[in-house]
Amino acid sequence: MIEATLCFVLRESETDGTGEAGETDETSETSETDSDTDVLLIEKRRGLGEGWYNGPGGKLEPGETPRECAARETREEVGLEIAPDVLEYAGELTFLLDEEVHTVCHVFRTTEFAGEPRPSDEARPEWTPVDDVPYDQMWEDDRLWLPGVLAGDTVAGEFHFAGGPPLDEAAFVDHELEWGVSFESRDGDGTDTSGETEAAGE
Ligand SMILES: COc1nc(N)nc2c1ncn2[C@H]1C[C@H](O)[C@@H](COP(=O)(O)OP(=O)(O)OP(=O)(O)O)O1
């Protein structure tokens, strides 16, 4: 089983009054939006999910807590400095492949960071209005949980894939979600066992 993280960095949109974001990569498209918040997405350049958009993140290293991993991966992939303790625990996602747990992913969000995003071998960063997140170029499960996480909610989810490996070539077949989960006891490596899950579609 892989333990991994995702880190969603949010900022107030920088607009010039035209509805276009002020600081975007020259290759990115901008569009009018009512949103006043941007999220930092990456276009993944290698490994699992290559070519898709995601948040910065990656696998835990030995001895590392999830929030330490999320801060390290964000620094390595896009150059932003984040203190691990400012990260807000927003979700725990369990990805199953052929009914075996493949990855447990800890999801964090923050508005506190230092520096400007820069590209790396692993990632091309792009500030994106939260209303314009390109869900059609992301993991199929993301549209189910990421809007709520970007809106400030917390989530526990199970996502079932079939037909891999690799996971990013498997079919997404089912999910269960629970919103408003309390992760208050989480300091990075605790286990939250509260609540019951809600069947998909309910
Ligand atoms: C199955 O659905 C998924 N959805 C989303 N949004 N993100 C996912 C999903 N499955 C895995 N992920 C995330 C978890 C990690 O953040 C990355 C994969 O990380 P990677 O394997 O590239 O890990 P690194 O440590 O960065 O890789 P290196 O070994 O190359 O350093 O995807």
pLDDT digits (tens, 9 = 90+) for 49-62: 999 999 999 999 99
Torsion of CA 5, 10, 14, 19, to 10 degrees: 90
The answer, yes or no, to whether residue 90 has pLDDT greater than 90, is yes
The residue among 156 and 189 whose pLDDT is bigger is: 156
pLDDT of residue 66: 97
Domain spans of the chain? 2-11+36-182
The answer, yes or no, to whether residue 128 has pLDDT greater than 70, is yes
CATH number, domain 2-11+36-182, options 3.20.20.140, 3.90.79.10, 3.40.50.2300, 3.60.150.10: 3.90.79.10
pLDDT, tens digit, 9 for 90 and up, residues 32-46: 445 699 999 999 999
pTM above 0.90, yes or no: no
Residue nearest to atom 18 of ligand 1 (CA): 58
**Rounded distance, CA 164 to CA 65, Å?**
28
Q: Which of 133, 110, 175 is nearest to 42 (CA)?
A: 133
Point out the ligand 1 atom lying closest to the alpha carbon of residue 6: 16
The residue among 191 and 127 whose pLDDT is bigger is: 127
The two tokens of residue 132 are 């314009």
The two tokens of residue 179 are 């919103």
The full DSSP string for 83-102 is -GGG-EEEEEEEEEETTEEE
Q: What is the mean pLDDT of residues 134-163?
A: 98
* Residue 68 alpha carbon to ligand 1 centre in Å: 16
pLDDT of residue 16: 52
The answer, yes or no, to whether residue 80 has pLDDT greater than 50, is yes
Please give all residues whose beta carbon lies within 6 A of any atom in ligand 1, as ranges.
Answer: 4-6, 47-49, 54, 57-59, 73, 95, 103, 105, 139, 141-142, 159, 167
Residue nearest to atom 29 of ligand 1 (CA): 59
Residues 6+ apart with CB under 8 A from 111: 9, 10, 11
Point out the ligand 1 atom lying closest to the alpha carbon of residue 76: 26
Which of 5, 45, 48, 67 maximizes ligand 1 atoms within 8 Å of its Cβ, making it the mutation to test the pocket? 48
* Residue 67 alpha carbon to ligand 1 centre in Å: 15
**How confident is residue 186, by pLDDT bands cut at 50, 70 and 90?**
confident
Q: What is the mean pLDDT of residues 163-182?
A: 94
* Residue 58 alpha carbon to ligand 1 centre in Å: 5
Q: Helix, strand, or coil here: 66?
A: helix
pLDDT of residue 15: 64
pLDDT, tens digit, 9 for 90 and up, residues 3-33: 999 999 999 997 654 444 444 444 344 444 4
Question: Which residue type, as a one-letter code, is found at position 183?
Answer: F
What is the ipTM score, two decimals? 0.96
Q: What is the mean pLDDT of residues 150-170?
A: 95
